[in-house]
Structure 1
Amino acid sequence: MVKQIRLAAHFPGVNNTTVWSDPAAGSHIDFESFRHFARTAERGRFDFLFLAEGLRLREQGGQLYDLDVVGRPDTFAVLAALAAVTDRIGLAGTINSTFNEPYEVARQFASLDHLSDGRAAWNVVTSWDAFTGENFRRGGFLPKEQRYGRARSFLDAASVLFDSWRDGGAFAVRDEHFDVEGRFGLPRTPQGRPVIIQAGDSPEGRDFAAAKADAIFSRHAGAEAGKAFYADVKGRLPAHGRAPEDLVILPAATFVLGDSDAEARERAREVRAQQVSPQTAIKLLEHVWNRDLSDLDPDGPLPQDDPVVDGGTIAPGRASVRMYRDPLATAREWRELSRARGLSVRELMIEVTAEQTFVGSPETVATSINDLVQQDAADGFVLVPHITPGGFDEFVDRVVPLLQERGVFRTEYAGTTLREHLGLKPLG
């Protein structure tokens, strides 16, 4: 049976993949940027648009991290405004379960689902670092090992609120994390509740997704790693009384197009060079060495000394710092790669941080996406352009029609809600 491909459009910001310096790059505050992005994705019949959320401006060496967006509007404000200028595309927002309250979040998502006629989605994330928590009343109170416990309780509590209209809005939730009681002021929404998305990759995160989520983001976009992740997460579903079709797996993926594969490869090299400037290369290297490297030549060799592994971190709150769980091993690996290929600091950082997922002509990219989905390496992809807001224009104009011709992607929306777009069963 031929699988239908699911596609989502990610409006980036909290990363270094976007080429801010490109003349085509637009504002992350001006609503026109969000409108253009959303309308393009809807024209391409994408399942949903996705917004990430940063709860604190991140720092490095005591200074604001210069690759992050400063001043992007609140997620709910943007999605509510987009509901008025789109008709079918889903609207997904990242909202934290560590520092918010169930009643507040349930009310906001129920409002969005009503305003959009059933297109809301909630990317449930956790946070455990005290750096982010300092912005909140309970700053840093939650140990890392408890974050998924609170997330489960938070989602369960919100679900009680979403369903409470059957009992006149009355609700009561009492567990180790919450003690709330009252009446929910909104009727049941078109979807019953927002589509639930989750992005954890740890064993706890995978179990959480298998038990609670409708879709899971993954960083495993390649064939081998994708198949392993897909089989693992789908294999966890029966233990929770769920079927494989109850959870959609969507790796994040970047792309670069060209009239030919050779042209696309050349454009990809140019994009990687833009993404990792000399200054950025040093900042990224500091994530592993965990000390100030501003005096290091980005066109020279790696530092001779080892990373600093004791004490705090040069970049509190940076997820990329936590990715390198063994900085000493990472440093050894990078030194070996640098020596073997004669790479400078900047060339190494380009090599290890900025390679695109899909590079080629429209035909090549369409084939690659379809092959991975049909091989059960994914159900689709959350695509991340390197330019906003116009980064999807070429993909929608040149790749989507090829997928439609193959009969693996919709030519029109069949339903009105996001659950229908994703092929999920309606809630009871």
Structure 2
Amino acid sequence: MSKPLKQIHLAAHFPGVNNTTVWSDPAAGSQIDFSSFVHLARTAERAKFDFLFLAEGLRLREQGGQIYDLDVVGRPDTFAVLAALAAVTDRLGLAGTINSTFNEPYEVARQFASLDHLSAGRAAWNVVTSWDEFTGQNFRRGGFLAQEDRYERAKQFLTAAQVLFDSWRGDEIVADKESGTFLADPDVGRFQHRVSQFDIAGQFNVPRSPQGRPVIFQAGDSEEGREFAASSADAIFSRHSTLEAGRAFYTDVKDRLDRYGRGRDELLILPAATFVLGDTDADAQEKAALIRRQQVSGQTAIKFLEQLWNRDLSDHDPDGPLPEVDPLVGENTIAKGRASVRMHRDPLDVARQWRELAATKNLSSREVIIEVTGRQSFIGTPSKVAETINEFVQTDASDGFILAPHLTPGGIDEFADTVVPLLQERGVFRSEYEGTTLRDHLGLAAPRNRDENRDENRNRATERAAS
């Protein structure tokens, strides 16, 4: 018997201004006007995507004390945008990145529970940590945490938020309309949670939402990030761009689930991906090369080089060879906290790899950055792109993709009109939404509340004792 076809999950990323967006293209619109968010969301919903995803920026990006062109437009508040989009969409999931380093569990839980109510069960939370020192300057906790401390805080933050979500079971209040009174459990919303990062106790004031809890996403690719996702997340992002690397990541993360008592279908692997479509594969490749050069200007290439080399390279020629000197190892003075905890665990080894790449392909500094910063990209005719996406999913290199268009707001229009129908014809993507909540779209079961978890643990203990 042949293996049944997996259903592909698709989402749209509203990128804002970053090294994916070509904001200088004449076809690009505003990165901040609400009409841009509406256009992308409605296109994604028309194409029956699972959700729309927003990143978060708590400070304009800067380097060497200066703001640079990747973030000059600024970023509106995630919750405000998603709440507004809930009013102009019906089924599309609404996922937002909210930081666990500089927020508090009570306020974040309250905001997500409210969003889940406003959207009738379509909220999702991408739990991230902050890695840079200058973001901390916007908050009373300056500086940045070491990697192990950031992940420990994130785990405790998520657990605390789940305690708050579960403080309502859903049936504690009964309205007596004749007398005009409410019959309420006096312990409704009561919580107490004392751990090293949080010492909180009180009463949560938002009733249990349609999904119980928002869908939880996690974006870390490190050992700590993979383990965090396996223990606590519903989906994890990935940056792996080849079938071989994707399958290795998929297997690694899925294999971690068993030790947390979770099934392999309880965590989805969703890499971010870009795409370029053309009338022919050659036409698409030509367009893709032009777009990559627009995405990585000479100035942007220098910024990426500085993050690895930890030096002022403002006089370096981006169209010349890589710097001859080695990176400075130690505290990062170009983007504090960034290189040491994010991409470059071993700057000298990364520089060696980049030099080998440059020598093998005869690449300039800018061309190296274009190659090493590219996401998983689907390039070709709509038929070729549909075939490639399906191959990744059916061969367990991913469960779907979060598509990051290079144009805002019309960047996914062509994909929705040409690639999606081909996936539907293959029987691997929905033609209509079958459920109403984001958990329905993703095939995720409703989360157990604290009482249900306690009862299940008791039953398991009883079964073990009896055996």
Report the TM-score, using the length of structure 1 for normalisation. Answer: 0.96
Matched, 1:58 2:61: yes
Could you say what the CA RMSD is over the residues aligned between the two structures, in angstroms? 1.7
If you compute each CA radius of gyration, which structure gives the higher value, 1 or 2?
Answer: 2
Corresponding residue of 1:127: 130
2:280 is aligned to 260
Paired residue for 1:9, among 1, 12, 31? 12
Deviation at 1:314, TM superposition (A): 1.1
Counterparts of 2:63 and 2:233 in 1: how far apart (Å)? Answer: 33
| Equivalence for 1:79 | 82
The structural deviation recorded for 1:318 is: 4.2
The aligned counterpart of 2:71 is 68
Question: Counterpart in 1 of 2:458?
Answer: none
1:42 CA drift (Å): 0.6
Which of the residues 304, 319, 323 maps onto 1:284?
A: 304
1:402-413 maps to which residues of 2 (within 5 A)? 402-413=422-433
**Mean CA deviation greater in 407-416 or 125-134:** 125-134
User: In the alignment, which residue of structure 2 is the partner of 1:202?
Assistant: 222
Per-residue CA deviations over 1:257-292 (Å, capped at 9, x if unaligned) read: 001111111111111111122222222222222222
**Residue in 2 that maps onto 1:335:** 355
Q: What is the CA-CA distance between 1:320 and the residue it aligns to?
A: 9.6
Give the match for residue 149 of structure 2: 146
1:217 is matched with which residue? 237
Change in Cα spacing, 1:66 to 1:227, as seen in structure 2 (3 Å) is same
| 1:114-156 CA distance string (max 9 Å, x none) | 0000000000111244322221112236433122222121111
CA contact (8 A) 1:58 1:315 kept: no
TM alignment of 1:178-197, pairs within 5 A: 178-197=198-217
The answer (yes or no) to whether the contact 1:291–1:308 under 8 Å persists in 2 is yes
- The residue correspondences of 1:160-175 to structure 2 (distance < 5 A) are 160-166=163-169, 167-175=187-195
Which residue matches 2:333? 313
What percentage of residue pairs aligned between the two structures are identical? 74
Deviations 1:30-64 (A, max 9, x none): 10010001001111100000001011222112211
Match among 114, 118, 123 for residue 115 of structure 1: 118
Conserved in 1, the CA contact under 8 Å of 2:128 and 2:218?
Answer: yes
Taking the aligned partners of 2:230 and 2:332, their CA distance within structure 1 comes to 34
Aligned twin of 1:304: 324
Structure 2: gaps spanning 5 or more residues: 170-186, 449-467
Q: CA deviation at 1:327?
A: 2.2
Change in 2 beyond 3 A, CA 1:413/1:152: same
Q: Tell me the equivalent position of 2:271.
A: 251
Amino acid at match of 1:238: D
Higher mean displacement: 127-136 or 113-122: 127-136
Q: 1:386 aligns with which of 386, 402, 406?
A: 406
Q: Which residue of 1 aligns with 2:173?
A: none
Q: Which residue of 2 aligns with 1:417?
A: 437
The Cα offsets for residues 60-108 of structure 1, whole Å up to 9 and x where unpaired, read as 1221132125322100000000000000000000011111111100000
Conservation of the 8 A alpha-carbon contact between 2:131 and 2:338: no
Is 2:32–2:73's contact at 8 Å kept on the other side of the alignment? no
Indicate if the aligned counterparts of 2:13 and 2:52 stay in contact, CA closer than 8 A.
yes
Shift of 1:321: 8.1
1:165 is paired with a residue of what secondary structure?
A: coil
- Does structure 1 residue 400 correspond to structure 2 residue 420? yes
The secondary structure found in structure 1 opposite 2:274 is strand
SS of equivalent to 1:323 = coil
Q: Structure 1 residues 71, 355: CA separation in 2 closer, same or farther (over 3 Å shift)?
A: closer
Structure 1: which 5+ residue stretches go unaligned?
Answer: none
In structure 2, distance between residues paired with 1:385 and 1:236: 32
The one of 37, 51, 72 equivalent to 2:40 is 37
Q: Which amino acid aligns with 2:59?
A: R
Name the SS for the 1:357 alignment partner: strand
Deviation at 1:242, TM superposition (A): 0.8
Aligned residues: 428
Aligned mates of 1:331, 1:204 — CA distance in 2 = 24
2: CA distance, partners of 1:271 / 1:320: 30
Give yes or no for contact 1:275–1:354 (8 Å, CA) kept in 2. Answer: no
Aligned to 1:360: 380
